[in-house]
């Protein structure tokens, strides 16, 4: 049982064998770092280690694990979702089924399978509440990915009732932070904005063009907060219902753009391109269940987190891989 301090419990994790799928990715690296800091024995798996769309490789991946944290996903921003709906649902459904079955076969003690806010219905009332997860179809621009991630909740319930697999499913808000992808076509909104404003500022441009109308709202969670919530979610006994992981704060995209521009130091004009999709108009979470169930509350404020991410990007931009479409 985890402590209610909101911090991972060393007494729970020390010497515990943990496998993190997607452990070399954005969220995975932060999860693994925090797990190691409390004494866990961590295996961080990347795409080069196992192909989780293949059942036999998923079984091998979780072998001899006490806890499995399933983060591996085929994922991207709105542009990527529009171009790749087939691979997004195929790969993520296959990985989810294979990991659950592998944990059953391997008699894993606990499985944390991370879901996305994209799983919520397109017409869900805000803030999103867990009991409304299955009340409608996800928003069209990311529906295949959202349906695939929503399936993790059904898998968790079915495997618990049939075989007693102790699994839990956190539903995580939009993430950002140091180490994110800054690809202009396929990254999420905060890293894309940071890169656009920094490059415009460096070139001396007087305007930056951003996708959509700027009217939608989102919730943004720092990756370190998300990693802590995932770890706390594994500590608590028998978490049978999905729980939202976020800060519960709604931020308009126009306000976000102004904040990023200010942090970067860009003082030109922000131009919105309405030919590009907005996606869901409002998306933020009711986070009370996570507070009550695992003792989690977000700690990193948005401006503070953006400043940290801007600093990281400026220090690392030259060493990042080029955009795939460049």
Domains and CATH numbers, the chain: 10-178+220-248+283-299 (3.40.50.720)
Specify the pLDDT at position 115. 98
35-44, 76-85, 160-169, 202-211: the lowest-pLDDT one: 76-85
Please give the Cα distance from 126 to 143 (Å, whole number). Answer: 18
Residue 325 predicted with pLDDT over 50: no
Confidence at residue 20, expressed as pLDDT on a 0 to 100 scale: 98
Question: For 78-102, what is the mean pLDDT?
Answer: 94
CB of 237 closer than 8 Å to CB of 1? yes
Cα separation of 313 and 194, whole Å?
Answer: 8
Residue 145 among the catalytic residues = yes
Band of residue 63 on the pLDDT scale cut at 50, 70, 90: very high
Strand order in the sheet with 17-21: 41-45, 17-21, 67-70, 110-113, 167-168
- pLDDT at residue 77, as a whole number: 77
CB burial string 263-279: b at 16+ within 10 A, e below: bbebeeebebeeeebbb
Residue 121: CA count within 13 A, CB half-sphere: 14
Q: How many helices (H) and strands (E) does the chain have?
A: 11, 14
pLDDT of residue 1: 44
Beta pairing class for 217-218 and 251-252 = antiparallel
- DSSP classification of residue 323: P
- Range 253-260 average pLDDT: 97
**Residue owning tokens 């529009």:** 82
Q: What does the angle CA 297 – CA 30 – CA 42 come to, to the nearest 5 degrees?
A: 115
Model confidence band, residue 324 (pLDDT cutoffs 50, 70, 90): very low
pLDDT interval class at 289 (50, 70, 90): very high
CA distances from 81 to 253, 273, 287 (A): 19, 19, 26
pLDDT in tens, 212-243: 999 999 999 999 999 999 999 999 998 999 99
pLDDT at 186: 67
Catalytic residue of the set 80, 120, 145, 176? 145
Contact between residue 17 and residue 65 where contact means Cβ atoms under 8 Å apart: yes
- Give the pLDDT confidence score for residue 150 in this predicted structure: 97
Residue 51's alpha-carbon distances to 22, 91, 112, 184, 237, in angstroms, are 11, 10, 19, 27, 30
Quote the pLDDT of residue 288: 97
- Straight-line distance from the first to the last Cα atom of the chain, in angstroms, rounded to the nearest whole number: 49
Cα dihedral across residues 49, 88, 219, 292: positive or negative:
negative
Which DSSP helix (H) or strand (E) runs through 321? none
CB of 62 closer than 8 Å to CB of 106? yes
Q: Which two tokens stand for residue 245?
A: 């992981």
Residue 15 CB coordination number (10 Å): 8
pLDDT band at 322 (very low <50, low <70, confident <90, very high): low
* pLDDT (mean) for 7-19: 97
pLDDT(326) > 70? no
């Amino acid at each position: 049982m985890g402590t209610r301090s909101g911090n991972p419990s060393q007494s729970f994790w020390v010497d515990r064998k943990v496998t993190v799928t997607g452990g070399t990715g954005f969220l995975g690296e932060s999860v693994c770092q925090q797990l190691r800091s409390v004494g866990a024995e961590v295996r961080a798996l990347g795409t080069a280690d196992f192909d989780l769309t293949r059942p036999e490789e998923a079984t091998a991946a979780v072998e001899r694990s006490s806890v499995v944290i399933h983060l591996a996903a085929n994922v991207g921003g709105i542009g990527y979702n529009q171009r790749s709906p087939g691979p997004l649902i195929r790969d993520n459904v296959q990985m989810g089924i294979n990991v659950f079955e592998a944990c059953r076969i391997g008699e894993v003690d606990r499985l944390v399978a991370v879901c996305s806010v994209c799983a919520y219905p397109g017409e869900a009332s805000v803030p999103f509440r867990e009991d409304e997860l299955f009340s409608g179809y996800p928003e069209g621009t990311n529906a295949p990915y959202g349906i695939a991630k929503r399936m993790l909740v059904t898998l968790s319930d079915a495997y618990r009732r049939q075989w007693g697999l102790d699994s839990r499913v956190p539903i995580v808000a939009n993430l950002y932070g140091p180490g994110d992808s800054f690809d202009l076509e396929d990254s999420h909104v905060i890293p894309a904005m940071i890169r656009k404003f920094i490059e415009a500022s460096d070139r001396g441009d007087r305007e930056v063009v951003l996708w959509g109308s700027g009217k939608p709202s989102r919730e943004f969670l720092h990756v370190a907060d998300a990693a802590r919530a995932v770890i706390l979610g594994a500590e608590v006994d028998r978490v049978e219902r999905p729980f939202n992981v976020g800060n519960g704060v709604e931020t308009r995209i126009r306000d976000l753009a102004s904040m990023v521009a200010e942090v970067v130091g860009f003082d030109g004009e922000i131009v919105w391109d309405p030919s590009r999709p907005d996606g869901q108009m409002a998306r933020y979470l009711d986070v009370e269940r996570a507070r009550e169930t695992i003792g989690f509350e977000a700690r990193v404020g948005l401006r503070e987190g953006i400043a940290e991410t801007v600093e990281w990007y400026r220090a690392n931009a030259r060493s990042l891989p080029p955009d795939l479409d460049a």
